[in-house]
Amino acid sequence: MMLRALKRMVFVSVLLCGACFLPIVHAQDQTSSFEFALYLLRSGEYEAARVELHRYLYFSPSGQRTQEARFRIGQCHFFLRQWDKALEAFDDCAVQSTDIEWVDDALFWSARTSFRRLEYEIATDKAVAFLDAFPDSPYVDDSRAMIAWCFVGDSKWEEAATAFGELAECYQDGSLEYRRSLMLVKQSREARSLPRRSPSLAAVLSTLLPGAGQFYARQRGDSFFAALLNGLSIGLAVEAFSKGRVSTGIVTGAIASTFYLGNIYGARNAAIRYNQQQVYNWIEQMKQNTPVDLFGEEFSE
């Protein structure tokens, strides 16, 4: 009897000890899970990191790092270029977080997501509101740079020059960031003088002479092709009518008219593409001088 009672006491003691240590073991397991998620995030395994972070939230909905987990999920979506889900995650983090640090981070990254979606007006409004709410945030320089780049994206060059000038004031005179910001001021003003082609003039030129508008827009290959195609089709239509083949003339004339109108439309589009390419190339040059990298595709802390 004594032996049986002793065994029962030992068994109960083991159960009690296990019950006491179980929360500790669970907490350690969740901490390890979160750290592993951060490791995956730093390694660029964004989808795996997102899954691991959701697992952490499922098992620790009130954990110490719950707010950070919500924010990191937003970053995973951001680097996966899943903009809608990223915005949802950052907004969720900003609303539910009680720690001002994560509210700060979430609101800035929400603005950055809108910027990457090319929603420049929305991103500007968010960045301005962010600066008003968090004037001492470590993201102040990034937000000012974002505002300037939003103006660049909308081809508002004078506003961009002013914004880059304000960004330069945030840096110490003579520093690399200061010099780069001033270079961006200069490039923004010079962008107003980029070579351009008038879409209307291109269309008029191709109306008068097929292919001329494309040549004006520096599309030499398209110009030759348009001139050749229109010349042949018009020539065939004229020849058919001159030889009394009315039906053939009507068909070839309709085809020639289609090519002719397409030539005019193509000339206009060629001029638009030329202007867009000039702006794109100029912006790519400007990016080399940015003191703040808002275009990165990889996670960095």
Q: Is the pLDDT of residue 211 over 80?
A: yes
pLDDT tens profile 148-170: 999 999 999 999 999 999 999 98
Model confidence at 2, pLDDT cuts 50, 70, 90, reads low
Q: Give the ranges where the chain is alpha helix by DSSP (H).
A: 2-42, 46-59, 66-79, 83-96, 100-116, 120-133, 140-153, 157-168, 176-190, 199-208, 212-216, 220-242, 246-287
Chain-centre distance for alpha carbon 77: 12
- List the CATH number of the domain containing 66: 1.25.40.10
Instruction: Give a yes or no: residue 17 inside a domain.
Output: no
Angle at which helices 246-287 and 176-190 pack, to 10 degrees? 150
Give me the pLDDT at residue 22, please: 36
| Cα–Cα distance, 256 to 238 (Å, whole number) | 10
Q: Is the pLDDT of residue 10 over 50?
A: no
Considering only CA atoms, give the Rg of the chain.
Answer: 32
Q: What is the mean pLDDT of residues 190-218?
A: 93
Q: What is the mean pLDDT of residues 210-238?
A: 88
244 lies in which domain range?
Answer: 199-287
CB 153 within 8 A of CB 116: no
The more confident residue out of 157 and 5 is 157
One-letter amino acid for residue 300 of the chain? S
Give me the pLDDT at residue 239, please: 80
Give me the pLDDT at residue 298, please: 66
Model confidence at 49, pLDDT cuts 50, 70, 90, reads very high
Chain-centre distance for alpha carbon 183: 23
Q: Spell out the SS3 assignment of 153-186.
A: HCCCHHHHHHHHHHHHCCCCCCCHHHHHHHHHHH
Most confident listed range (169-173, 199-203, 226-230)? 199-203
Which of the listed residues 90, 117, 144 is the one where a domain comes to its end?
A: 117
Instruction: Give a yes or no: residue 301 inside a domain.
Output: no
| Cα–Cα distance, 225 to 210 (Å, whole number) | 10
Model confidence at 25, pLDDT cuts 50, 70, 90, reads very low
Give me the pLDDT at residue 99, please: 82
Instruction: Give a yes or no: residue 270 inside a domain.
Output: yes
Model confidence at 19, pLDDT cuts 50, 70, 90, reads very low
Instruction: Give a yes or no: residue 220 inside a domain.
Output: yes
Which of the listed residues 117, 139, 167 is the one where a domain comes to its end?
A: 117
Give me the pLDDT at residue 289, please: 87
Instruction: Domain count for the chain, please give it.
Output: 2
Q: Is the pLDDT of residue 180 over 70?
A: yes
Instruction: Give a yes or no: residue 262 inside a domain.
Output: yes
Q: Is the pLDDT of residue 93 over 60?
A: yes
| Cα–Cα distance, 246 to 254 (Å, whole number) | 12
Which of the listed residues 63, 89, 117 is the one where a domain comes to its end?
A: 117
Q: What is the mean pLDDT of residues 139-149?
A: 94
The more confident residue out of 245 and 211 is 211
Q: Is the pLDDT of residue 128 over 70?
A: yes
Q: Which of 25-29, 177-181, 291-295 has the lowest mean pLDDT?
A: 25-29
% of the chain residues with pLDDT over 90: 60
